[in-house]
Amino acid sequence: MRMGVLDIGSNTGHLLIVDAYRGGPPLPASSFKEPLRLAEQLDAEQRVTDDGVDRLVKYVVQAKAEAEDRGCSLVVGFATSAVRDAVNADEVLAAVREASGIEVDVLPGEDEARLTFLAVRRWFGWSSGRLGVLDIGGGSLELAVGSDEQPDVAQSHPLGAGRLTREWLDAGEGPDALRKYVRTALAEDAGAVLRGGAFDHAVATSKTFRSLARMCGAAPASDGDFVKRVLRRADLGPLISEIVGLETDEIARLPGVSVDRAHQMVAGALVAEAAMDLFELSELEICPWALREGVLLQHLDAL
């Protein structure tokens, strides 16, 4: 079956169209994405602004048309941290539904971590043993650990790169203050992870980690999904020292960084560094599958 997975993220709206069937990997057929920056469209009362709603509705209408043009029989839509945290989430999703006819479900943070873990487990398989998965989004950090397809621990922390940039760096707080805050916040729930022992395989997913790995010398996306990419802790410290002194347009010129996310890279790097230090990870392998694939796999498993 050809189907679309519509991901309304805190940074980007992304429609992934795949040819999917049980017993085999979903094969990407097309992709349609747009920078929405919903995490930055929350006002002081945590409402998605009118401009943010308008941009989201316009994108989903376009995504639906794209899915129909590509022959999709089904579109599964979900939203993550920015919509989840918005006090007007119901109004936002009602506007999307009225304009497009697409029902978008809000994923709880723990489900986001769990489904990302499922995707990574399917990609790497059982040889990974006790698997640890980290995902830095625009609004939150997801962490999941376990030895089966379902993680033993699934956590979501409000430590997304977009959120921290807006609430700390753009508000005048320096990187040192943000570094301390991130480490304190992450350490509060670290015990549940650490009690289970070390990871046999530590993995990172999604755009922030891919960009950090590329900035530290990993292979470009053009080399394909099956090239091994690793983010090393030893490379991350020097990278942070470099980018904290750069302007956003200078960061955007570094390899692997998009213009839309360049302003978030300092915050994202500080979160990655904190997680690697707290969980004593010398490296993270980058997985090409993440939450979208997890949602898709869960849907196929339910058929």
pLDDT at 20: 87
**Which residues of the chain fall short of a pLDDT of 50?**
none
Residue 189 counted as domain residue: yes
Average pLDDT, the chain: 96
Residue 115 and residue 92 share a domain: no
Distance CA 165, CA 161 (A): 6
How remote is the C-alpha of 237 from its chain's centroid?
A: 22
Residue 140 and residue 22 share a domain: no
Q: Which of 86, 106, 126 is the last residue of a domain?
A: 106
What angle is formed at CA 294 by the lines to CA 94 and CA 37, rounded to 5 degrees? 50
pLDDT at 107: 97
Residue 163 counted as domain residue: yes
pLDDT at 23: 79
DSSP 173-219: --HHHHHHHHHHHHHTTTHHHHTT---SEEEEEHHHHHHHHHHTTPP
pLDDT at 21: 80
Distance CA 28, CA 69 (A): 15
How many separate domains does the chain show?
2
Distance CA 138, CA 206 (A): 10
From the list 169, 161, 269, 291, the residue with the least C-alpha distance to 214 is 269
- Chain position carrying tokens 């109004």: 91
pLDDT at 24: 83
Residue 115 and residue 102 share a domain: no
Neighbouring CB atoms inside 10 A of 27's CB total: 10
Residue 233 and residue 170 share a domain: yes
Residue 118: CATH number of its domain: 3.30.420.150
Which residue range is the domain that position 30 belongs to? 2-106
